[in-house]
Amino acid sequence: MKTSAETDPDRLTEASHSTNGPHSRAGRQDFNVFGELRKADLNEKRQAMFAIVRTGGKQYRVAAGDKIVVEKLAGEAGDKVELGDVLLAGEGGELKDASKLTVAAEIIAQAKGEKVIVFKKRRRHNYRRKNGHRQNHTILKIVSIA
């Protein structure tokens, strides 16, 4: 009798139990198959033009179409922004001259981050202070790298 993996070519795994026991990897093929799928997806993303940009004291790896959350930038939703501080750029396996490149982005929204609680206490002195802080962020969509 054929297993479901043999009868259905679209199915990625064999039966979950192998001859060596239910927890053995010997009879299962899903590990290699899923690994190959992940590698293929990563290779597609690596082939696209990318850039490393610096904004707000942090560095981000971006490609066209990516959405990133950065420290607050001036502007409203829908405004265009240019990120000129490009540190590195490349396409596929080769690097490009980053000094001539700029990254064009569109502001999607101005938002606030999660609340961070700061609690100070000195034992035996009845001293307690609780403060909260929400950092302002800008959500950007990368339009192009040129």
> Residues 91-102: pLDDT tens digits?
988 899 998 899
Strand order in the sheet with 67-71: 67-71, 136-145, 103-112, 80-83
Rg of the Cα atoms in the chain: 25
Q: What is the pLDDT of residues 30-60, one digit of tens each?
A: 444 445 555 556 566 557 899 999 999 999 9
Residue type, 140: L
18: pLDDT strictly greater than 50: no
Q: CB neighbours of 33 closer than 8 A, spacing ≥ 6? A: 12, 13
Per-residue model confidence (pLDDT) at position 21: 54
Contact 140, 107 (CB under 8 A): yes
Sign, CA torsion 41/44/47/50: negative
Per-residue model confidence (pLDDT) at position 11: 47
Per-residue model confidence (pLDDT) at position 48: 84
Tokens of 116: 């961070």
Per-residue model confidence (pLDDT) at position 66: 94
Which of 146 and 25 is assigned the larger pLDDT?
146
Tokens of 135: 């950092």
The residue-averaged pLDDT of 19-25 equals: 53
Per-residue model confidence (pLDDT) at position 92: 82
Which of 34 and 70 is assigned the larger pLDDT?
70
1: pLDDT strictly greater than 60: no
Q: What is the pLDDT of residues 102-146, one digit of tens each?
A: 999 999 999 999 999 999 999 999 999 999 999 999 999 999 999
Q: Which residues face 129 on adjacent strands? A: 120
pTM reported for the whole predicted model: 0.65
